[in-house]
Amino acid sequence: MNIPTNIATLIVGVLVTLISFWVGQHHGLLPVAASVNAPLIDGLFDTMITLSVGLFLLVQGALIFALFKFRKPKDDETDGPPWKENLPLEILWTGIPAIIVLGLSVYSFEVYNSIGGLEELAMQAHHHSMKGAAIAAPLNSTSQSSPTEPRLATIGFTAPANVKGTGVTVDVTGLQYAWIFNYPDSGITSGELHLPVGQDVQLKIKAMDVLHAFWVPQFRLKQDAIPGRETELWFKPTVIGTYPIVCAELCGSFHGAMRSQVIIEPQSDYDAWVQQQLADSAPSDHPTIASAGQSQSAETRLAPRLAEMGISELTLAQVHPHHDG
């Protein structure tokens, strides 16, 4: 089959292209992009939507056109044309998808690398097994380990070497059915995640009981929390606001209720929040008692649900850091 020169074909081609690009830019399917990674992933998605809409229109258009144009005429019991193959056409529809997926692979690899997904390749990964041990050990011990101590190769997303160690580090613990956030630098424990805008954030994620997954749709980031194994997420929030933290891995009957929120605020508000948290917990020397006074502590926030979910005080006390010594 020669390349179509027919005007109608040309118009169809131009229209499909225009519609594809327009939809790719105006689909409005994704929520606010609130982290430095999110626009990269959105760009990738827009590209894939553009390509998909084009292919969708071509195939569906051909099928619907055929439905009307090639319907059997009444009383015509003869066959259609005996076309069995066409090598140039088949090379074309093998080659073009091959080039598209190759391009998408390279593009996706680039995006994946720039959101910190391949940092572990750059690091000297020491394979130190912490399976099982993490469950028995105090949960905040691994993140406070000295730099010389060998650690498990990263799973998830890590800060590039040049920003490593700056910004905020938070230990995240998933348990049926809540997220607990522990700030090792200040010793704060909270049921909500407060973060200063524009700072690099490194989350170290653990699970107490079953698999969970930490997901903030507005950051386009998700990582499973795995019992016995630490995983990581790195990002830089860019837009001030309050976003949902959603558990995305089935974790039991209250899985759908396992939600929290991340509050991205200006540095001054964040500092004030840290001071408030420290002031609230300072007078006490017992963590469980101290927590009762914290306005946003995990225990307070969860209290109405605890009995219903069967989580004991003791379980929560376990994840509470013993920073008082």
Partner 1 sequence: MITAQLDGILPVNPSPELTERKWWDYFTFNTDHKVIGIQYLVTSFLFYLVGGALATAVRKELSTPEVDFVSRELYNSLFTMHATVMIFLWIVPAANGAFGNFLLPLMIGARDMAFPRLNAIAFWLIPPGGILLMSSFLVGAPASGWTSYPPLSLMNGKWGELIWILSLLILGTSSILGAVNFITTLLLMRRPGIGLNNMPLFCWAMLSSSALVLISTPVLAGALILLCFDLIGGTSFFNPTGGGDPIVYQHMFWFYSHPAVYIMILPVFGLVSEILPVHARKPIFGYQAIAYSSLAISFLGLIVWAHHMFTSGVPGWLRMFFMVATMVIAVPTGIKVFSWVATVWGGKLRLNSGMLFAMGFVSMFVIGGLSGVMLASAPFDIHVHDTYFVVAHLHYVLFGGSVFGLYAAIYHWFPKMTGRMINETWGKVHFVLTLVGFNLCFLPMHKVGLAGMPRRVAEYDPQFAAINLICSIGAYLLAVSTIPFVINAVYSWVRGPKAGANPWNAISPEWQTLSPPPIENYLGEPPFVPDPYDYGKDYNPGKRPMSQVKAADLWR
Q: In angstroms, rounded to a whole number, what is the distance separating the alpha carbons of residues 310 and 245? A: 22
What is the chain's alpha carbon radius of gyration, rounded to the nearest angstrom?
Answer: 27
Asked if 258 touches Cu ion (CB under 5 A), the answer is yes
The bridge status of strand 178-183 relative to strand 168-175 is antiparallel
Among the listed residues 29, 159, 3, 144, the one whose alpha carbon sits nearest the alpha carbon of residue 86: 3
- Cβ proximity to Cu ion: between 53 and 251 the closer is 251
Q: In angstroms, rounded to a whole number, what is the distance separating the alpha carbons of residues 305 and 153? A: 36
The DSSP bridge partners found for residue 259 are 246
* Secondary structure class of 298 (helix, strand, coil): helix
- Cβ proximity to partner 1: between 142 and 231 the closer is 231
Asked if 307 touches partner 1 (CB under 8 A), the answer is no
Residues 178 and 191: beta-carbon distance below 8 Å? yes
Q: Report 46-65 residues binding partner 1 (CB under 8 A).
A: 48, 52, 55-56, 59-60, 62-63
Query: End-to-end alpha-carbon separation of the chain, Å?
Result: 80
Q: Report 157-186 residues binding Cu ion (CB under 5 A).
A: none
Q: In angstroms, rounded to a whole number, what is the distance separating the alpha carbons of residues 244 and 197? A: 16
Asked if 195 touches Cu ion (CB under 5 A), the answer is no
Asked if 101 touches partner 1 (CB under 8 A), the answer is yes
Q: How far is the CB of 281 from partner 1 (least distance, A)?
A: 31
323 binds, among partner 1, Cu ion, none (CB under 5 to 8 A by kind): none
309 binds, among Cu ion, partner 1, none (CB under 5 to 8 A by kind): none
- Cβ proximity to partner 1: between 251 and 290 the closer is 251
Element (H, E) at 15: helix 7-26
Q: How far is the CB of 64 from partner 1 (least distance, A)?
A: 8
Asked if 225 touches Cu ion (CB under 5 A), the answer is no
Per CB under 8 A, the list member of 178, 180, 213, 311 interacting with partner 1 is: 213
Q: How far is the CB of 91 from partner 1 (least distance, A)?
A: 10
Q: In angstroms, rounded to a whole number, what is the distance separating the alpha carbons of residues 297 and 89? A: 65
The piece of 105-113, 120-128, 132-140, 255-263 that touches Cu ion (CB under 5 A) is 255-263
Q: Where does this chain bind Cu ion (CB under 5 A)?
A: 212, 247, 251, 258
